[in-house]
Every structure is written in C-alpha cells, then in structure tokens.
Amino acid sequence: MEYSIHQVSEKMHIRPTVLRFYEKEGLLPSVRRTPSGIRRYTGEDLEWIGLITCLKNTGMSIKQIREFVDLSLEGDGTLKRRCELLLEHKKQVEAQIDEMHRHLDKVACKIEFFSRQYAQYQKAQGDRSGTA
C-alpha cells in the first residue's frame, strides 16, 4: 500500500512541508513519485520516518541523522557501525537526562529559596496589618 504526503502527515504527525524538507535534506532517500511527480510513500518509507522521528525526538541533529541514513544506504556492511552509533547516541541522551536531573535539583533549591522569601514577606505584611 502507498500513501500520499497528507496521509503520511496524519499518520506520523509530521507536516507535509517537513516531510519535503527532510527529503531535501537527504533523510528520506528513494521516495517514489507518480509519473507527474507526486510523492507516494511505501510502508518502508514509513518505517524510515519512524526511525528518523525516534532519533529526532531524542535530540539527534538532522546532520547526524543524515550521516546515519547515508551509512544505511551503503548496505549491510555498515550494520555494526550503525549499532554502535545508536548505542553511543543512547548513552549521550542518558547522560543528558542525568544532567537535566542535576540542573532540576538546582531549580528546586531556587524554589525553596523564593518560597522562604515569600513566607517572610507574608509574615512582614501580616505584622504590619496587625500593627495598624
């Protein structure tokens, strides 16, 4: 079965403009066309898009994704390399998440700091209205 760019757009939650953009950037090689040049996506294309989305969602840049895609186009000889790349990416993302947790802890500290200040401020306000 084949899909129009709008069907893919709905299915994958990616705008048609973005699908065209990704194709231009080399992230989607080999999308077929009708004789008049209109894109027709196959199930295989959808799988590609799923992988790309997955990598994008974890913060991989278009450039890096293209490198991965280029490797894929070279054939099975690059399978090992691709596995390694994905594992490396996964590690990086995990490290990012860890870092984010640390940063978040600092935010929590700041919140506590402001909460205290607010409590003091309220107390001061209360005292003043009590004195009146």
Partner DNA sequence: ATAAGGCTTAAAGTTTACTTCAAGTCAATA
Partner DNA sequence: TATTGACTTGAAGTAAACTTTAAGCCTTAT
Contact partner at residue 13 from a second copy, DNA, none, CB < 5 to 8 Å by partner kind: none
* Contact (CB, 8 A) for 27 and 62: yes
**Per CB under 8 A, does 115 bind a second copy?**
yes
Of 18 and 54, CB closest to DNA: 18
* Contact (CB, 8 A) for 12 and 53: yes
| CA angle 78–79–85, rounded 5-degree value | 90
Subset of residues 15 to 34 that bind a second copy, contact rule: CB under 8 A: none
* Contact (CB, 8 A) for 55 and 65: yes
* Contact (CB, 8 A) for 8 and 45: yes
**Per CB under 8 A, does 90 bind a second copy?**
yes
The site for a second copy (CB under 8 A) is made up of 51, 54-55, 57-58, 76, 79-80, 82-83, 86-87, 89-90, 93-94, 96-97, 99-101, 103-104, 106-108, 110-111, 114-115, 117-118, 121
